[in-house]
Every structure is written in structure tokens, then in C-alpha cells.
Amino acid sequence: MTTATWTTEPPVRRGPGSFLAVRDLTVEFTTEDGVVRAVDGLSFDLEKGTTLGIVGESGSGKSVTSLSILGLHDPSTTTITGEIWLEDQELVSADRAVMERLRGNRVAMVFQDPLTALSPYHTVGRQIAETYRRHKGGSKREARERAIEMLKRVGIPQPHLRVDDYPHHFSGGMRQRAMIAMALVCDPDLLIADEPTTALDVTVQAQILDLLKELQQQTGMAVILITHDLGVVANTASEVLVMYAGRAVERGTVREVLREPRHPYTWGLLGSMPSLRSPVDVPLRPVRGTPPSLLAPPPGCPFHPRCDYVDVAGRELCTRERPVLTPETGHADACHLAPEDKRRLAPERRTDRKERA
Amino acid sequence: MLAFLTRRTIGAVITLLIIAAATFFLFFAVPADPARLACGKVCPPELLEQARRNLGLDAPVWEQFVAWLAGLVVGRDYEGLGHCPAPCLGYSFVNREPVLETILDRLPLTLSLTFGAAVFFLLFGVGAGVVAALRRGRPLDKIASVASLIGASVQIYFVGTLAMYFLVYQWQILDRPQYIPLTEDPIGWAYGLLLPWLVLSLIFTANYTRITRSTMVEQLSEDFVRTATAKGLPRRTVVTRFALRGTLIPVVTIFGVDLGSLIGGAIITETTFGLQGIGRLALRAVTDSDLPMLMATVLLAAAAIVVFSIIVDILYAVIDPRVRLS
Ligand SMILES: Nc1ncnc2c1ncn2[C@@H]1O[C@H](COP(=O)(O)OP(=O)(O)OP(=O)(O)O)[C@@H](O)[C@H]1O
Ligand code: SF4
Ligand SMILES: [Mg+2]
């Protein structure tokens, strides 16, 4: 291609049309033991103003997915393929300058443990103000005012005093509030919250989730909420993506997935919840067996070593052929069971819970 | 902070008192007689007695120690030499010069040597460590680790002597190290001390590179460093303002120790490079049984070590707000 072509006809690419569209995302880490495929052909969409809950056991690739969106993986050990579209911007191939302008500005992140995720060396106010100045400019004074305003918004008492405190002066819940203030200081379009309540006390967890929900309603941003807990999803998300071994095994609206779960793994997750009425969780260890090795995942359906329905769907099929997520849109699952079997075998008690969804 | 300083100062004074007393009494436990040295080769008993009285060695040892201490605090009168105002370190047994003046005369050299070298090895060491951490596993990292291995395994008198031999005498690239006061001629000052600075850096840099690299690698994988990146801060800011901050803590720790040992161990450096600083004074004080000079140099070295350890503790609190001085 000549220079002339470039200048007259800039190569415009258009995304698939959703606000956020992840297409066939695969993330591999090169380790001493071999290549770990932590995310394998993941696709999903997200619209503004909605919340996508990503659930799955530990190690299913939830964090790796979210870090990929912000481009936070170490490029020297990570291979990422596929596409991540944020409106018209593709992020996997974007260069560093583009990503730096995007991070903290259009896309922000709240991490699991606010104690380690906030810098112990800088005041809370400075950490918030710094993000603001980086992206919106303005004087130190203005940024500080903005930081105080944000602290107030996330419910920190006496924000004009607490702004000069260090994170170790804050309680766990307040730290997470500060973290959220920092994430929202530039009014992002997309907020990724990676298990934002796991490190907190049970009573504080609900407060933080309520805060996130409220802030989303105020700002209309899109939210990805990563959690172990389907109870949290039921209360806060509009859509769910269930992940297993780096793949999406079920996807749909909260209503669909909680009312008519189709994948045996989702059944297992739901079965572990004592009651959907309580928003706070017991840790998920629902399904028998352990998550598969990502170095050498089982052939066919990655869930088959732990699945109780292999013989119903056909052992040959489950151990040889990898089920794909179908249909392409709407409520979808990746399981070889026949549709009527999925309906028939879904644990009975699911139905009396639809009210919550 | 004030309470901390008070407490540490009291501790430091006690430490120094113990060191002073130990040095003083040990001096008299050694069979060398300074009066005999002062008196000369052929020394009749009356003259020896006279010399002993002149040097103040006729009183009991503990009385002498008290007199020495009193001189330090309130000053002291000397027969024939007049009043010596506080802080009085006495007069040299050898040339009857006031010790304090001699020390103050030589101190700039030792300080120039130490702090000049410190600037070099801090910059080289921490710089190389940061680069190595950022380019982990790549050629630059490997070069740095080999270089630090070499540096860590050599000694001042070995490299220093080799450097003197080749650079100064054989190839005549540099002049013999010399001390020109900074205020007189800054370029001459730096040029005169360049060789010892480089040799000291070669030896000390290694440690800083190693510690900086390993701590930096840890810090770079900390959550809060990732958060800084996730906020959109440029890589440079993330490295210098976030990752480097925690790296400074171990660096400051060894820096305090190294500075103390450089001043305390100035004998080796100064002897190797033929410079006349505090170290040489100390050495001569020992061979001449020059008690006042010996006390002064030992105390100075001890004070340097004690003071640096207090400064290091203060720096911890400056670097990391979670550290409480108490
Ligand atoms: N940098 C890395 N290098 C090698 N393997 C990695 C790396 N990061 C993650 N992994 C592996 O990828 C897999 C998925 O990890 P991920 O952190 O996404 O899980 P998760 O779903 O977020 O789990 P959790 O609920 O425990 O947070 C894990 O097996 C993990 O060991
Ligand atoms: S495909 Fe087979 S193994 Fe996998 S979840 Fe469905 S029934 Fe179980
Ligand atoms: Mg995670």
C-alpha cells in the first residue's frame, strides 16, 4: 500500500456494532511447564447501561479475560489472539499509547483486594487526583476537589479530611470505596469489577454491590462484574456468562440462565447456593472433582471428567468432540445434551427461584 | 518524631561512651608506652617521668578518662599548651598539635572520597538494577548479573592496587589520586579523586544492582503497580513513582551500612590510593601510640555508623508512610 492510499483512504475498521464486543479471544501464557491456555475462544457482547456477570470457579479465566480488555498482560509471556472491540476501537492490536489513553479513562477497573491494589506510598486523594489529571488535565487544586467530590459520592464520611489519608488508615470497605472512586473519577464508559467484594466482610459486601449498582444507574456505564457467586449475579447483573476452563459454557440473561439453566456445570454452580434470597455467598465448591489442567485440557468437552451426564449425551461425543456455544445469540450453552434432556434433567428446584431473576 | 530522635540520640550517646571507654582502657592494656616513644631512644628515668607527666599519663587511668571526657564537654587546660575549648579532643602525643584541628583538616578528604563514590555506586547500582529488572532475561540483564558477580568478589586493595599500577604507573592515563579542596578547584577535586571513586563503585555497585533488581522484579508484580498501569499512567511513571518507591527501602538499608563502613574503613581505601585522610590518621595513631588521636578517629568512625543508622530509620518513614517512628 502506498502512502497516497493511506492519506486519501484511511483504513477505517468497524466493530461488530455492540458497545463492547469480544470475539474469539484466546489468551496463552508461556510458562516453564508449557503453554497455559487460560482463555480459549471466548466471545461475548456488552451494551451500555447493562451489567454482565461473569461467573466460574477459581482458575476459569475470569481475571485473565478482564485484564486482556485493558491490555494488562505482560506481552513477553502472553499471546493474545482474537478481537476486543470497544465501539470502533480494536484493543488487542492497539498500540501502547492508545491503551494508556483508554485505561482509567474510558475503561476502568476495580480489583479484588483494595489493600494491595492501592499504593501504600501515596495518599488516597493523590491516587484519585492523579488519574483525573492524567486524562482530563486541570490543576492540582481542581483534581483534588474532584477527588473529594468522588470520595463523597462513594460514601466516605468527611471526604475533605480523608482525602489526605493513606490507604492503611482506611477500613477494608472504605478502601474498596476509594478504589471505586478512583475507577470512576474520569466517568468511564466501561467498568470492570473483578471480584470487588471477595476480600471484604460479609456485611460490607452488600454495601459495595449496592454502591456499584447505584453508580451504574447514575452514569449509565457498562459493567462487567466478575464473581464466584451466582447470588451476586442474580441481584446485580442483567446478563450472565458462565466460564469453565477458559471457555464460555453458558450465556444468557440472568432470568434465562437462572430459570432454565442448560449446562450441567451451571447446574452444579446453582446447586451450591443454599438460597438465592441471600445475596451473600458461601464459597463455591459445588461440582465434584477439580478444575482441569489448562496445560493439557481434557479432549472433547472440558467438563466431561466431572460431568454426571456423559452417558446421557453419549460418552463418545463428550470425550471426543468439543461442544460449541449455540445459538450465536440469546440464551446459549455448550453441551452435547439434547434440548429436551437439558430441560428434563435441570434440577427441579431451579424453577421456584425464578422470581429472584 | 521528636520522641524518636530523643530516644535514638540518647542511645547513640551511650553507645559512643561505651566505645570510647573500651578504646581508652584497651589502650592501656597494651604494653606500648607512649611516654617512652615521646622521650626518645636514650631516655634517663627522670626524663621519662617528665614526659609521662607532660602527656598526663601519670594519673590513674580512670582519672585520665574522666579528664578526657570533661575536655570533650567543657574544655580542658593543658600545662604549657594553654586552654583547649570544648569539644576538646586533646593534643597529639606525637607533635602536640590540637587533635580537633588535624581531624577537621583531614575530614573533607575522607568525606569527599566516601560521598563521591557513594553518588557513583548509587547511580550505577540502582540504575543498572532497574534496567535489569525491566529487561529481565534479556542480554542487558545477563551482562548486569555477570558484572555484579565480578564486582562482588573483589576487594579494594586488590582492584585498587591493580588500577593504580596500570592506569597510573604503566599506562599513565590518570594521575596519582590527590586531594584538592572542592572550594578551591571543583574540577581538580573530581579529577583527583576519580580513580578511587571508580574503584569503590566497581566494588559496591554490584550489591546495589543485585538488590535493586530482585526487589524491583517483586515490586513490578505488585497489585498496586498493576493498578497504576490500569489507571493509564505511562510506563515511566509507573516504574519511577510506584515500583521504585518500595525498591528504595532495601537500598537505603545497605547504603547506611556501606557509608558507615566506608568511613570506618577509610584506612584501606586511603592506604591503597596514597591519600592522607582520617583513615591514615587512625593508622598512624595506632603505630605511634597516640592516644588522643586514636580516641578521636575511633569515635568519629563509630559516630558515623551510629548517625547513619538513625538517618536510615528516618528515611524508612519518609519512603513508606506505614512505618511509624517510635
Ligand atoms: N501470568 C500468568 N502466567 C501463567 N498462568 C497464568 C497467568 N495468569 C493466570 N494464569 C492461569 O490462568 C488461569 C486462569 O486464571 P484467572 O486468574 O483468570 O482465574 P479466575 O477465573 O480469575 O480465578 P479466581 O476466581 O481465582 O480469581 C489459572 O489457571 C492461572 O493459573
Ligand atoms: S457436553 Fe457432555 S460432558 Fe460436557 S457438559 Fe454436556 S453432557 Fe457433560
Ligand atoms: Mg480472578
pLDDT over 80 (residue A99):
yes
Q: How would you classify residue B218: left for phi > 0, otherwise alpha for psi between -120 and 50, otherwise beta?
A: alpha
Instruction: State the residue for C-alpha cell 471526604.
Output: A159
In the structure, which protein residues have their CB atom closer than 6 angstroms to any atom of ligand 2?
A: A 263-264, 301, 303-304, 307, 309-310, 313, 318, 323, 335-337
Write down all domains in chain B, each with its CATH number in brackets: 2-84 (no CATH), 103-319 (1.10.3720.10)
* B231 contacts A134? CB cut-off 8 A: yes
- For residue range B246-269, list pLDDT tens digits in order: 999 999 999 998 998 888 888 888
Tell which wins on pLDDT, A37 or B152. A37
The least confident of A90-99, A145-154, A164-173, B156-165 is: B156-165
* Widest Cα–Cα separation across chain B: 86
Q: Which span out of A162-166, B174-178, B307-311 was modeled with the highest average pLDDT?
A: A162-166
Q: How many angstroms is it from A336 CA to the middle of ligand 2?
A: 6
Q: How far is A124 from chain B (nearest CA, A)?
A: 12
Chain Cα centroid distance, residue A23? 15
CA angle centred on B286, ends B281 and B291, rounded to 5°: 90
| Res B19: pLDDT | 94
Pairs from A127-132 (Cβ < 8 Å, separation ≥ 24): A127/A178, A127/A182, A128/A163, A128/A178, A128/A181, A128/A182, A128/A185, A130/B231, A130/B233, A131/A104, A131/A182, A131/A185, A131/A186, A131/B231, A131/B232, A131/B233, A132/A185, A132/A186
Q: What's the rounded Cα separation, in Å, for the pair B318 and B324?
A: 10
Partner residues linked to A84 by β-bridges: A22
pLDDT over 90 (residue A222):
yes
Please give the ipTM for the structure prediction: 0.86
> What is the percent of chain B where pLDDT is above 70?
100
pLDDT over 70 (residue A8):
no
| Res A278: pLDDT | 45
Smallest CA-to-CA distance from B51 within B35, B28, B33 is with B35
Interaxial angle between packed helices B278-287 and B291-319, expressed in degrees from 0 to 180 and rounded to the nearest 10: 140
Tell which wins on pLDDT, A282 or B129. B129
* A104 contacts B230? CB cut-off 8 A: yes
Q: What is the DSSP letter of B242?
A: I
A56 lines ligand 1 (CB under 6 A): yes
Confidence tier at A13 by pLDDT (50, 70, 90): low
- For residue range A109-160, list pLDDT tens digits in order: 999 888 899 999 999 999 999 999 999 999 999 999 999 999 999 999 999 9
| Res B307: pLDDT | 92
- For residue range B71-123, list pLDDT tens digits in order: 999 988 887 778 888 889 989 988 888 999 999 999 999 999 999 999 999 99
Per-domain residue ranges of chain A: 107-187, 262-356
Q: What's the rounded Cα separation, in Å, for the pair A324 and A332?
A: 9
Q: What is the DSSP letter of B268?
A: H
pLDDT over 90 (residue B244):
yes
- For residue range A149-187, list pLDDT tens digits in order: 999 999 999 999 999 999 999 999 999 999 999 999 999
| Res A46: pLDDT | 95
Amino acid at A356: R
For residue B176, what is the enclosing H or E element?
none
Q: What is the DSSP letter of A9?
A: S
| Res A270: pLDDT | 84
Confidence tier at B168 by pLDDT (50, 70, 90): confident
pLDDT averaged over every residue in chain A:
88
Tell which wins on pLDDT, B324 or A349. B324
For residue A193, what is the enclosing H or E element?
strand A190-194
Chain Cα centroid distance, residue A333? 18
| Res A12: pLDDT | 58
| Res A151: pLDDT | 95
Interface test mutation site (partner A, options B135, B227, B315, max chain A beta carbons within 10 A): B227
A27 lines ligand 1 (CB under 6 A): no
Tell me the average pLDDT across A59-69: 95
| Res B56: pLDDT | 82
Q: What is the DSSP letter of A356?
A: G
Give the three cell numbers for residue A143: 483534581
Tell me the average pLDDT across B128-155: 81
CB-closest option in B222, B232, B246 to A135: B232
pLDDT over 50 (residue A2):
no
| Res A273: pLDDT | 62
pLDDT over 50 (residue A352):
no
- Per DSSP (E only), the strands in A67-185 are 78-86, 89-90, 107-110
pLDDT over 70 (residue A14):
no
Tell me the average pLDDT across A39-61: 94
3-state secondary structure of A28: strand
* B222 contacts A121? CB cut-off 8 A: no
* A134 contacts B233? CB cut-off 8 A: yes
Instruction: State the residue for C-alpha cell 591493580.
Output: B162
Confidence tier at B46 by pLDDT (50, 70, 90): confident
Closest ligand, as measured to the CA of A308: 2
List helix spans (H) across B221-290.
223-230, 235-237, 244-264, 266-273, 278-287
3-state secondary structure of A214: helix
Confidence tier at A207 by pLDDT (50, 70, 90): confident
| Res B323: pLDDT | 87
Q: Are A149 and A207 in contact (CB under 8 A)?
A: no
